[in-house]
Amino acid sequence: MLYGDRSPLSHDMAPELACLDGTFSVLQWSGGRLWFKVVYSLTITSAFAALVGRRTRTMSVLLMTGVLALENRNPPVSDGVPAHGARRTKGASR
């Protein structure tokens, strides 16, 4: 699994990478599967609530927090870095 609570990026490594990137994620508060599912479910629920117009200001804050938490949980996946971690150099051809 590339993304989520069972990703190759362990819970111990995530805060170090977040510190280097200058990002924040509520998923760093706990490394358990239950916490990941709670954050994921709240993000989906807040997206639906914002879509139908229910408490849009509150839901937009919850949605942004959830989306950033999920995106910052595993930055190499959202950055498009290959699984082995090799980055292209400027002169590399495709």
Q: Report the alpha-carbon distance of residue 34 to residue 70 in Å, rounded.
A: 14
Q: Which residue has the tokens 């879509």?
A: 51
Tokens of 4: 């989520």
Q: What is the pLDDT of residue 1?
A: 47
Q: What is the mean pLDDT of residues 61-65?
A: 92
Determine what percent of the chain is predicted with pLDDT higher than 90. Answer: 24
Its pTM surpasses 0.85: no
When pLDDT is cut at 50, 70 and 90, the band that residue 8 belongs to is low
**pLDDT higher than threshold 50 for residue 71:** yes
